Structure 1
Amino acid sequence: MKLVLQRVREARVEVDGAIVGAIGQGLLALVCAERGDTDEKSDKLLAKLLKLRIFSDPAGKMNLSLQDVGGGLLLVSQFTLAADTSSGNRPGFSGAAAPDEGRRLYDHFVARAREAHPIVATGIFAADMQVHLVNDGPVTIPMSA
C-alpha cells in the first residue's frame, strides 16, 4: 500500500457538490492499494500512520502524533498513486490493485482506522471527488508498506 499524508488545518471531500467527509486539524491520507497488498501490510501502515510524530509540541518541534493531538483522519482512495511514469507520456496503472481488491483493502483500512482512532472521515471509493484542504506547514509525507 502507498499513502500520501498531508498535515492539515482542515480538509473535506465533495462528491456531486455535497460534502461526504470532513475534518478539522489532522491528517488527510490519500490511500492506494497495490497488487499483492495484504491486510497485514494495511494494518502495519495504519499503525505507523497513527504514531507518526509530525505535529508540533509546545516547543515547536515535530514530536507529537495524530493520536497525541486528537486530530481527525480523512481517508481518500487514490489509485493514481500507483502510476508508472517510466515510459511515454501517459501513466500506466497496472501496479494498482484490481478494483474489487482495491475496494476491499481500502474498506479494511477504513474499518481498522475507525477501531483505532475516534475521528475518521472518508471519501467515496471510485467516485469523482473534489478534495479541499489547508495544508499545515506544508507537511506532506509519502509512506508505503
Structure 2
Amino acid sequence: MRVLVQRVTSARVVVDGVSVGEIHPDRHGLVALVGVTHDDDADVASRMADKLWRLRILDGELSAADVGAPILVVSQFTLYANTVKGRRPSWNAAAARAVAEPVVSAFADALRGLGAHVETGVFGADMAVELVNDGPVTLMLEL
C-alpha cells in the first residue's frame, strides 16, 4: 500500500459536476491518495491509517490526531505505475478493483475508527481532484 499525502488548506473531489468529498478552507487537513497492490489487505490498511493519523506533518509538528484535521481519501491506482522501461507505464503492480476497493474502504474506515473526519472520492470514477497544497508538503508513505 502506498499513500501520497498532501497537507492542504482546502480540497475537494468532483464527480460528474458534483462535489462528493471536501475539506473546507476553514479547516486545514490532509489529502491521502491511496494506491493498493496485490497483497494488501485490511490489516495493512489499518496499520497505514494509524501511521497517517499520527504523522506529525501539520504546523508545529502536530498530527491530524492532535488537532482533529480532516482527511480526504482518494483511490489512486497510478501510484503503482512502473515507468522504468519505455514511455508507456505498466500497471502490473496495481491491484485489481476486486482487491483494491475493499482495501481503500478499510483504510477510510480505520481512519474513522481512530476518530478522523474522513471524506472520500468515488472508487473507479473519473474524478477531478482540486486542492491547495499547504507548504507545500507532500510525502509518500509505505509500509
TM-score by length of 2: 0.94
Aligned to 2:56: 53
Alignment pair present for 1:138 and 2:136 = yes
Give how far 1:118 is off: 3.6
Specify every segment of 5 or more residues in structure 1 that has no aligned partner in the other structure, as ranges: 58-62
Aligned to 1:18: 18
Aligned to 1:111: 109
Give how far 1:104 is off: 1.1
Report the more deviating stretch, 33-42 or 76-85: 33-42
In 2, Cα distance between equivalents of 1:32 and 1:52: 18
Is contact 2:48–2:107 with CA below 8 Å preserved after alignment?
no
User: Map of 1:28-47 to 2, 5 A cutoff?
Assistant: 28-47=31-50
Aligned to 1:92: 90
Report the more deviating stretch, 109-118 or 90-99: 109-118
In 1, Cα distance between equivalents of 2:70 and 2:59: 15
The residue type equivalent to 1:50 in the other structure is W
The residue type equivalent to 2:41 in the other structure is T
Aligned to 2:75: 77
In 2, Cα distance between equivalents of 1:42 and 1:100: 15
Give how far 1:39 is off: 1.7
Write out per-residue CA displacement over residues 66-119 of structure 1, whole angstroms, 9 at most, x where no aligned residue: 111221100000000000001110000010111111111111111111221241
**DSSP 3-state at the match of 1:34:** coil
The residue type equivalent to 2:66 in the other structure is D
In 1, Cα distance between equivalents of 2:130 and 2:115: 22
The residue type equivalent to 1:51 in the other structure is R
In 1, Cα distance between equivalents of 2:84 and 2:131: 29
The residue type equivalent to 2:110 in the other structure is R
Aligned-residue CA RMSD (Å): 0.9
TM-score by length of 1: 0.93
Alignment pair present for 1:127 and 2:125 = yes
In 1, Cα distance between equivalents of 2:44 and 2:124: 21
Aligned to 1:60: none
